[in-house]
Each structure stands twice: as structure tokens, then as C-alpha cells.
Structure 1
Amino acid sequence: MTTSGGETGRTAQVLTVGQLFLDLVYAQMPRPPQPGEEIWTADFGWGPGGVANAAIAAARLGARTAMCAAAGDDALSSLCRARLSDEAVDISGIRTLPGWALPVTASLGYDADRALVTGGTPAPVPVEEIVLDAPDAEVAALDLKVLSLPWARAASARGTRIFADIGWDGSERWDPADLDALDACHAFLPNEVEAMSYTKTDAPLQAARALAERVPLVVVTLGARGAVAVDSATGEEAAMAPVPVRARDATGAGDVFGAAFMVASLTQWPLRERLDFAGLVAAITVSRPGGASTAPGTSDLLPWLDAHPETDRGRFSFLRDPLAQVGRLPFVPTTENSHREHHNHQETRP
């Protein structure tokens, strides 16, 4: 298989799979609107949402990125396809479902939080079937609750590292059986409430250690307080301090953090630096209005750090050198990266 750049390897470096939406993001609202009232906000953005948040963020960071999802034959689906193509995301894995219209989500941000309203219906074809259209990739992001185990095990055997997250358990049963698909995954990225609830632990790091007994790499996100991570394959543990910013819109911040962490996993940076990189990219995103559609590109990172010297203080020197010298991230060649990580994955699964 040959990539568009002429390099022999996988079709994509990063693959995202899931539900696609069109997102309309209204941030910095003074309050929720009352019946009969119209509220204006200048902090507005729009773009492909859901699974597209991570795809766009990864592509802007220079990774060859593909997306696998369902779309309709309506005008909004066409609009999202065009926007994704403009972002250099490979959309060959998007399946058109005639007669179905893409759902639209409005994110209303006020009181340092947000409310979501979605119009439409979920895709009538399950993700487990859609993922069969997915191209080969080095790393892939999926929701654990809809992960297709046969596909995941086959992809893992080919060297794809699967990064899984999991949504809120509305039943609040936190059944450990929900995590059974972790056996096919390389990494798990829950938030602190999810991690502690599933493991019945009292602290994020304790939860990460418990989960690392089931999956090689665990990152527990702590919102504005940063993240903690445990890599059972290397023995590394790390805590990420937050990057201080004035948050204007947190819509899609988790998706952007996860995408940046996956992209960083294509380098040889140690765990702490991968976390810091993801934290930086997410922090820049939340400091801008418009949600994940404002995720930074590689060329944005050094100017942002130069404008915020109090944030750097040597913390991001690992990032400055490759960006200053070659203008891109120091990705490991595909074959070397896949072989190394697949070997580590196998060692944790005797």
C-alpha cells in the first residue's frame, strides 16, 4: 500500500470512527434564552461535529487523517463533506445513506457550562457496520460502547492502536462489563468520574492504575485540572498540569485533547510530553470561541507560545525544536512505529 506522499505504509496515520453531526456553537451567552426572547452572542462557530472534531484536530496537526461515519444525501451532509475535504481529511470512509438527514447540534454556552440540543435522528446503520468501510491506520479512535470487537481485534492484529473513550452511563450502574472491549484496545481515555465509577476507586491516579491492568495505556482527564496517565507497557506514570488560559468555549475540548494525544503517540515523546502537547492543543482551543472548529494547526503553536511566555518556561522545549527546524511534528516512520507499538501491546497480552 502506498500513501499519497509516496511512502510505503498505512493509508492513514489517524482514523476516527463514529457519529457525524453539524455543530452550531454559541458561547459566552449571558444566560439561557427565555420563551419569546432572542439572545445574540459574538462568540459563534459552526462545522462538522461529533467524530469530525477529532478528525479535523488531528489533520491540522499534520497527521494523515481519515474519518469513517454515516452521512445523508441532504445539503448539510454535503456541507460537512466539503468542509472535511478542505481540512485534508480523507472522507472515503463516509457512507452515504439515502433518505437520512445529518443531525444538527446546537451548543449553548453559559454559566461556565453548556447545554446541547440536537435535531434529527441517529444514523440508521450502526457504527459496527460503518467501521467495515474504514481504511487501515496506525491509530484509531472509537467509542467503547459501539466498538466492533471483530473489527477491533483484526485491526489490532495488523498493528493498529485503538484509543477508546466511553460516554456517560445514564443508568449510573457503571457495569464493569461495559469495559470488556478494552481487551482489543491500546489506550483508554475516560474522564475522572467515569474512571473512578467503573473501578470503584476514590482518586483519578488510583483509577488509572486499576484500568492499566486491563489496557496498556490509560489517560484519565480531569477537566480544567489537567490529566493523569499510566502506561503499563513502559512503567511510566505522569500527571499533566493544566495550561492556564481564559476559557471561552469548552465545546469539543475532550475530542481535541484525545486527537492531539493520538497524534503525539506517533512520535517518540515520553508520556509526560505527549500529555503536555495534548493539553496545550486543547487549551488553545478552549481559549477561542467556536468549539472544536477552532483547534490550532501546527503553524499556530509556536506563535501562541511566544505570545504566552509565562505558559512555556521550558515546558514545551521538546516541541519548539522540531517546529522551528522543520515546521512539523517528529513523526516516527510508519513501519517502525507500528512494529514497536504492536510489540509492546503484545507484551502486555501474554
Structure 2
Amino acid sequence: MTDREIDVLIAGQVYSDLVFTGVQAPAPGAEVYAHGFAISPGGAANRAVAAARLGAHTALVTELGDDPIGCIIARTLRDEPNMDLRFAVQHQGYQNPISVAITDGHDRSFVTYEQQPPHLPSWPDSTPVRVAHVGLGRGPVHTEATRLRARGTTLVSGVGWDPSGQWSEAMLEQLDNVDVLIVNEIEALGYTRTQTADAALDILAERVDLAVITLGPGGAMAAQGPSRLRVPAIAVRAVDPTGAGDAFTAAFMAATAWDWEIPQRLRLASISATCSVRGAGGARSAPRPADIADLLDEHRHDPQWEPVRHWAEQHRQSAIPATRGALTS
């Protein structure tokens, strides 16, 4: 384990998510009953679990709490095949952040409690890392991420929601420090001051080697240099949209680590996000290859999905690390 190459590295805060589904947030003084409930790792764990379930050897750099719910979260992460917790530390006396999510399948409401987290443990020093995730918009790119990039790691980044509504253009200036940017349509329009996703993609493609914009039910689009590509999403009944964007990013990172072509990276990412909304909780609902294969069996008429469906069929046993290299149809 010590010298094993890491396919996907995720760093960040892990939340304890308590998710109530099939219900809208109650009015003050009212009581409502949910149709479903789940406890799930959240935050950075959404991406880490999603990548690991697809078969990528995934390392998580984080601090975990030793409170009762935090211990449940830590045990859940330890039980995930392909999850490497060498760089995760369970900190005595630290309360894992808790988020209560209430969703009717479309809209979500959150209540969160968090303490000031301890400093994140050190990132891998000598272990090779193929793809790592970093966040932008809250200061410069992490020094250790920059060091990994200098050794050949592909840095994938997102920006997150800007609660101030200012969408500072300073974020765009940080894109020189990453290789791939994945943002949703609202974020893309906000930061680029444009009116359409196509216009936003043109601006982002000038700043970063590969730009991806997710479009929710509309699928996703990507640009690398002059090349433009768009893939659809498959329509399903949504139970909880929490973590869909994380599932997309994780799948795209895993496929990048395996050297897949960009069209199939996007398709794996799109179908992973689609699968994730059918269950409650971000990490808890992250799909395995079997889930992807089952969903795509319903779309055999579309040959564009066949390479990903064939891969998913080959890797139905999710504990087996997925194969790198080109897809076969």
C-alpha cells in the first residue's frame, strides 16, 4: 500500500450528512415527515467515495472527528474498497461537521454546524499521484498541489457557489495553476459575465487546457483548444440531487487517470451523476459499475453509450480496480 500509485487524490473537509428525502422544509413551528432518511459521508468524501466505487485507487486527505456520528462516517469510509486513508487522520476531540439536508428531489435546504477544522494532514510526498482535485476561489492553489503538478499530476479544479453573488473575476486568474476546470452552468455564467454556456465555455477555454461545464438535465459540454464537445444526460426520477456534481467530477477524474478519451470521460461522468440522484445522500448514492451498467442497459439503442456500458459490464465487481487504457466497444 505504501508505494502504490494513487489514481485520484481528494483533499478537503468531510461532513456528516443527515439527509431527509421526499419532503420540503417545514414552516416555522410546523412538523413534517420525510419519506426517507440516510446518514452519509459528505463534503470531500462525496468525490472520494464516487471515484473509489468506480474502481479508481483513491486517496483522501482529511481530518475526521471522533464524535459518535463522525465515527460512523469514518467506519463507512474504511469499508469502501479502493479507498486509501493513509492521509486521513481521526482527530481526538474534533466534532465532525454535520449537515442536515431536506430535499423533495428538486430543491434542497441545509442546516450545518461546524467547528474550526484542524489543519489538513500532509499530502503524499513521494507516492505518485495521477490526478488530484483542488478548489479555487479561496486563495492560491495549495502549495502541495502545485508540487504534485510539477511532478506530473493532473490538477482538476472546481470553484463552488459564491454566496456573496459577486463572482469575482480574480478566480479566472488562478486557472493557469490547474489543468482541468469543471463548473456548473450558473458558476460559469457568473464568473465569465456571459449570457450563454457556449460563450462562457469560450472564455474558460482560453484560460485552462480543458474546460467542462455541467448542464444538469442537459448533460455537459467541454472545450479543449478549438475543439468543442457536448454529451447528453439520461432522464431519471430524482430522489436527491446532493452530490451529483461531485459524482460527475469524480468520474471524470477517474477516467482521466485511466487515460480515456475526452468524449468517454464526459459520458462516464454524466451517467455517474445521473445514477447518483436516484438515491439519498452524496457519497451513499455514488454509483458502482453495476449501477451504471443496469441503467445503460435501458439505452442499448444509442451506440454512443456502448463503450461506457461495455466497460461497466466488465467491472460489475466494484472491488476490482478498473482497467486503464482505451475503451472497447
Shift of 1:246: 1.1
The equivalent position to 2:136 in structure 1, one of 131, 144, 157, is 144
| AA of the residue aligned to 1:316 | W
Q: Deviations over 1:93-141 (max 9, x none)?
A: 113443321111011003720011112324143xxx5454676421111
Match of 1:15 among 9, 16, 25: 9
**Letter matched to residue 295 of structure 2:** W
2:96 aligned partner, one-letter code: L
Matches within 5 A, 1:94-243: 94-110=88-104, 112-125=106-119, 130=121, 132=123, 136-146=128-138, 148-232=141-225, 235-243=226-234
The Cα shift of 1:324 comes to 4.0
Structure 1: gaps of 5 or more residues: 5-9, 334-350
Structure 1 CA distance, aligned partners of 2:98 and 2:21? Answer: 17
Distance change (3 Å), C-alpha of 1:44 and 1:290: farther
Question: CA, structure 1 residues 280+323, in 2 after alignment: closer, same or farther (shift >3 Å)?
Answer: closer
After superposition, the Cα gap between the structure-2 partners of 1:122 and 1:115, relative to the gap in structure 1 and judged at 3 Å, is farther
Take 1:85 and 1:214, find their aligned partners in 2: how far apart are those partners? 38
| Pairwise CA distance, 1:255 | 0.6
Q: Which of 50, 53, 56 is residue 49 of structure 2 equivalent to?
A: 56
| Cα distance, 1:65–1:202 mapped onto 2, change above 3 Å | same
Choose between structure 1 and 2: higher helix proportion: 1
The separation in 1 between residues aligned to 2:25 and 2:35, in whole angstroms, is 15
Provide the residue aligned with 2:267 in structure 1. Answer: 276
Distance in 1 separating the partners of 2:128 and 2:261: 25
Q: Provide the TM-score with structure 1 as the length reference.
A: 0.83
The one-letter code matched in structure 1 to 2:310 is D
Contact 2:65–2:96, Cα closer than 8 Å, also in 1: yes
Aligned equivalent of 2:72: 79
> What are the superposed Cα offsets for residues 235-282 of structure 1, whole Å, 9 maximum, x if unpaired?
432112121111111011111111011112123433222111111111
- The question of 1:313 aligning with 2:295 is answered no
Distance of 2:312 and 2:93 partners within structure 1 = 46
Aligned pair in 2 of structure 1 residues 189, 325: CA closer, same or farther (>3 Å)?
closer
Distance 1:132 1:289 in 2: 31
The one of 17, 25, 33 equivalent to 2:19 is 25
The aligned residue for residue 256 of structure 2 is: 265
Question: Are the equivalent residues in 2 in contact too, given 1:55–1:66 (CA < 8 A)?
Answer: yes
Unaligned runs of 5+ in 2: none
Q: d(CA) in 2 for partners of 1:242 and 1:321?
A: 18
Q: TM-score, normalised by structure 2?
A: 0.88
* Shift, 1:149, TM fit: 4.0
Amino acid at match of 1:320: R
2: distance between equivalents of 1:141 and 1:210? 22
Q: Residue by residue, what CA displacement relative to the aligned partner does 1:167-200 show, whole Å, maximum 9, x if unpaired? A: 2222222222223332221111111122122222
What are the Cα deviations for residues 19-66 of structure 1, in whole angstroms up to 9, with x where unaligned?
11101111111x322344432223222211100001101100000001
The answer to whether the 8 A contact 2:192-2:200 is kept is yes
**RMSD of aligned Cα (Å):** 2.4
Q: Using the alignment, how far apart are the partners of 2:2 and 2:325 within structure 1?
A: 17
Give yes or no for contact 1:24–1:106 (8 Å, CA) kept in 2: yes
The Cα shift of 1:225 comes to 1.6
Q: Distance in 1 between matches of 2:221 and 2:122?
A: 30
Distance change (3 Å), C-alpha of 1:74 and 1:220: same
* Partner-residue secondary structure (3-state), 2:61: strand
What does the per-residue CA deviation read over 1:303-324, in whole Å, with 9 as the maximum and x for residues that have no partner?
2322x237x5223111233444
